[in-house]
Amino acid sequence: MKKLYFLFALIILVFACSPKTTAPAKQDMTKAVPKVSYDTEVSALLLKSCAPCHYPAQDGKKKPFDTYEAAKNNITDILARVELPQDDPKFMPFKLKKPALTAEEIALLKNWAKGGYSM
Ligand code: HEC
């Protein structure tokens, strides 16, 4: 009899001590889109990569991307251009006069849109 109790105790102990198994797929699904804000990230990225051409204050003559509204209203075109192959004549930044956006930078713009265009 005693042996049986011991066995039970052992089984309970093993279960109690085993690490909780997480359901990774489900947890990742519920993970919120990383919060991206225009003021802290998007404006800096566009300024770094799209100035001076798209910044009227810097004598840019191309479509302005210098405000929150402009960035938001043109996000589809902006993403389309930066995701083109780099040798496409429509690729932006124009003729690679500025370095191409990194995958992280493109993801940042997408997450900004997905997250509802936080200021
Ligand atoms: C060196 C100057 C230069 C830089 C830097 C530059 N562009 Fe442009 N952009 C142009 C020129 C020139 C055109 C017009 C030719 C064309 O449409 O391909 C243009 C046009 C565009 C258009 C089409 C605008 C319209 O009138 O509909 C988009 C969208 C665009 N650029 C996005 C970007 C983005 C996003 C960046 C930064 C990641 C960027 N560009 C950086 C020169 C530049």
Which tens digits make up the pLDDT trace of 63-100?
A: 999 999 999 999 999 999 999 999 999 999 999 999 99
Share of the chain above pLDDT 70, in %: 75
Number of domains in the chain: 1
- 20 domain-assigned: no
Q: Is the pLDDT of residue 54 over 60?
A: yes
93 CA → ligand 1 middle, Å: 6
Residue 98 lies in a domain: yes
50 vs 90: CA distance, rounded Å:
14
Is residue 21, in this structure, part of any structural domain at all? Answer: no
Asked whether residue 46 is assigned to any structural domain, the reply reads yes
| C-alpha span between 82 and 92 (Å, rounded) | 5
- The residue range of the domain holding 60 is 38-114
Q: Please report the atom of ligand 1 found closest to the CA of residue 93.
A: 41
* pLDDT score of 108 more than 90: yes
**CA 1 – ligand 1 centroid, Å:** 82
Query: Quick check: is 45 in a domain?
Result: yes
In a domain, 23, yes or no: no
Cα separation, 43 vs 68, whole angstroms: 8
Encode pLDDT of 5-15 as tens digits. Answer: 665 665 555 56
Predicted confidence band of residue 25 (pLDDT cuts 50, 70, 90)? low
Ligand 1, residue 89: give the atom nearest the CA.
18
Residue 15 lies in a domain: no
State both tokens at 29.
Answer: 């699904």
pTM: 0.81
